[in-house]
Amino acid sequence: MIDKRVLNSDEAVRDIPDNAVLMLGGFGLCGIPENCISALLRKGIKGLTCISNNAGVDDFGIGLLLKTRQVRKMISSYVGENAEFERQLLSGELEVELIPQGTLAERVRAGGAGIPAFFTPAGVGTEVAEGKETRVFEGKTYLMENWLKADFAIVKAWKGDAAGNLVYKGTARNFNPMMATAGNMTIAEVEELVEVGELDPNEIHTPGIYVHRIFQGANYEKRIEQKTIIEN
């Protein structure tokens, strides 16, 4: 067993420099690495490129890093729900690259799987296709998309062990498993760091080989964006 444990979020992000390219797991605020985002705020590094499906909300998630102007560029599929984001985008302070969600997921997957490019039908005939190679397979046109990789991939899992094996919960899985594979350095924060041997090898979602640093996070807020309930 190779021990991947670090003490906390500050130790986990200690060597992330200015202008780094980061991947951050999560869909909306579900499954985001809350502790590492706080550590990046404390560290105060700037000029970050953040590859993340969304950009958080004004006062939570990546929105916190936007407020402190630590982000130079977002690569995302959907960036609504964030007024500060909108302001920075319209003023030209922030660069944004919008990518269809399935293409984003597959580009990250490809980056972690050693596949430099692939063809997808998403975006054919749209402005997403501008400047990209297309090819016809079985009579249908597809768009070539390149892999995405990151200097640091930061993911959040439910449970993990010292070997870096991860298990996710519910729809908090989302982009985390692919991002874990696509980082030159992958940091995992987990709600529960369990003893090695406690996780059933049959049920591990992310094998430890992809994870370089792991720690048990604290004080998870798990904020809900759209609380929707039924009455009895």
Partner 1 sequence: MLDKVGIAKRIAQEVRDGMYINLGIGIPTLVANYIPKNMNVVLQSENGLLGIGPFPLEKNIDPDLINAGKQTITMMLGSALFSSAESFAMIRSGKVDLTILGAMEVSEMGDIANWKVPGKMVKGMGGAMDLVASAKNIIVAMQHCSKEGASKLLRKCSLPITGLGCVKKIVSDLAVLDVLPSGGFKLLERAPGVSIEQIKNATEGKLIIDGNIPEMKLQ
Separation between Cα atoms, residue 119 and residue 126, nearest integer Å: 15
- Per-residue mark of binding to partner 1, 120-159 (x: CB under 8 A): xxxxxxxxx-----------------------------x-
| 36: contact with partner 1 by CB under 8 A | no
CB of 14 to partner 1, least distance (A): 28
**Measured from the CB atom, is 15 or 227 closer to partner 1?**
227
Closest CA to 121 of 103, 107, 105, 101: 103
Euclidean distance between the first and the last CA atom of the chain, given in angstroms as a whole number: 49
| 8: contact with partner 1 by CB under 8 A | no
Output phi, psi for 200, to 5 deg: -75, 120
Q: In this chain, which of 22, 166, 172, 214 binds partner 1, going by CB under 8 A? A: 172
CB of 193 to partner 1, least distance (A): 18
188 CB-near residues (< 8 Å, 6+ apart): 155, 156, 157, 160, 164, 166, 180, 206, 211, 213, 214, 215
Neighbours of 205 (CB within 10 A): 17
Output phi, psi for 169, to 5 deg: -125, 135
**Measured from the CB atom, is 67 or 205 closer to partner 1?**
205
CB of 120 to partner 1, least distance (A): 7
137: β partners: 140
Separation between Cα atoms, residue 35 and residue 20, nearest integer Å: 18
Q: In this chain, which of 76, 88, 165, 186 binds partner 1, going by CB under 8 A? A: 76
Separation between Cα atoms, residue 110 and residue 182, nearest integer Å: 8
CB of 72 to partner 1, least distance (A): 18
Q: In this chain, which of 145, 174, 208, 217 binds partner 1, going by CB under 8 A? A: 174
| 200: contact with partner 1 by CB under 8 A | no
The residue ranges that bind partner 1 (CB under 8 A) are: 27-31, 53, 76-80, 86, 89-90, 98, 100-106, 108-109, 120-128, 158, 168-178, 205, 222-232
